[in-house]
Amino acid sequence: MKKRPKKNKKTSETDADWIGASLEKTMPGLEMCRLCHMGAGRGRKCLLPSQKAVAEVLDGLIGVLFPGCHGICPLEFGRSRSALRDQLRQVALTLEQQVAQALRYQCQVDNCDNCEDCAERARQAVRHVIDSLSAVQHTLQLDIRAAYEGDPAARSPMEIVLSYPCLQAIAAYRLAHLLYEKEVPLIPRVMTELAHSRTGIDIHPGAKIGPGFFIDHGTGVVIGETCVIGRNVKLYQGVTLGALSFPKDEHGHPIKGIQRHPRVGDNVTIYAEATILGGDTHIGDGAEIGGNVWLTHSVPPNSKVYNVQPDLKVKKGRGKSPP
């Protein structure tokens, strides 16, 4: 006999019941969201881009860029040129669809009624990506070389490709930047945030970054939208290249298109956890910025900037000192 009279009151609902009753109360509220101006209700005429599809595109492009390395996105060994071409064609078609959806969404937000251009603009953006792939691949090889030469722990260039998070973050950024140049909404940021999630490195697709770029360790790095970074620059974990404050228009909205983030010259090294802020801050070529430095003004080329060693309270313990 399975009756438990003591519990009868509480468990009188059947399995179907208790969930059903809760759902009945909850669904109308959720329904409101379905019909909101951001949702997929009847009032909205287009699909949104999908994170999953964008991730496939990103991984597919990186797979094409490193076709022989079973690294970031391994391809089968010895795939023929035609197999590579087929893969790239497939990726390009998915990207075209996603970009078109992103453009149509932005049209709605901006109350633009000339959506006929979206398909053509999507094609132009994807063509720009494909046409730039060789150049991006060449730049990434310079990035790999910089990492190999910059890290004493690296044993081979392939170790960079197979395991360094910076390569994944930089590759995603360089591809996303191509779409940013064509003013594609949503997709570039989805790409770089995917890399941010995987690596802890947050590079806005709008930044401009020269070749030979290396970030060691990487967790916590933030590079803002209007940063300009030269050639052969090396960052360590936790470096922020950020904004100080930004002028706002009469509605309190930040004015777009203003230089809010620093410019960093060629051959600059910025050590861990340094914070460099402001659109008027220029770091000259060859400069070296020490760990934890907080910098909101420009420094000339070949400068070395370090924190004055802070005073420490040391309460010495008992025990034999280490050798």
Q: Which of residues 19-58 bind a second copy (CB under 8 A)?
A: 19-20, 22-23, 25-27, 29-34, 36, 38-41, 44, 47-52
- Report in angstroms how near the CB of residue 174 gets to a second copy at its nearest: 15
Site string for a second copy, 275-294 (x = CB under 8 A): x-x----xxxxxx---xxxx
Cα 30 to chain centroid distance, Å, stands at 31
Query: According to CB under 8 A, which residues from 56 to 115 bind a second copy?
Result: 64-72, 74-75, 77-78, 81, 84-85, 88-89, 92-93, 105-106, 109
* DSSP state letters, 168-224: HHHHHHHHHHHHHHTT--SHHHHHHHHHHHHHS-EE-TT-EE-SS-EESS-TT-EE-
Residue written as tokens 């600059």?
A: 268
By CB under 8 A, tell whether 208 contacts a second copy.
no
- Report in angstroms how near the CB of residue 155 gets to a second copy at its nearest: 6
Query: According to CB under 8 A, which residues from 107 to 146 bind a second copy?
Result: 109, 116, 119-120, 123, 126-127, 130-131, 133-135, 137-138, 141
Output the CA angle 229-220-161, nearest 5 degrees.
70
Q: Could you tell me if 287 and 299 are in contact, meaning their C-beta atoms sit under 8 angstroms apart?
A: yes
278-291 core/surface letters (b: 16 or more CB in 10 A; e: else) = bbebbbbbbbbbbe
What are the strands of the beta sheet with 269-270, ordered from one edge? 214-215, 234-235, 269-270, 288-289
Query: According to CB under 8 A, which residues from 257 to 276 bind a second copy?
Result: 260, 263, 265, 272-273, 275
Q: Beta strands 208-209 and 228-229: pairing type?
A: parallel
- Report in angstroms how near the CB of residue 59 gets to a second copy at its nearest: 11
- Report in angstroms how near the CB of residue 60 gets to a second copy at its nearest: 13
Which C-beta is closer to a second copy: that of 129 or that of 213? Answer: 129
- Report in angstroms how near the CB of residue 213 gets to a second copy at its nearest: 18
- Report in angstroms how near the CB of residue 146 gets to a second copy at its nearest: 14
Query: According to CB under 8 A, which residues from 158 to 197 bind a second copy?
Result: 158-159, 161-165, 185-186, 189-190, 193, 196-197
Q: Could you tell me if 175 and 136 are in contact, meaning their C-beta atoms sit under 8 angstroms apart?
A: yes
Which C-beta is closer to a second copy: that of 211 or that of 224? Answer: 224
Phi-psi region at 122: left, alpha or beta (left = phi > 0; alpha = psi -120 to 50): alpha
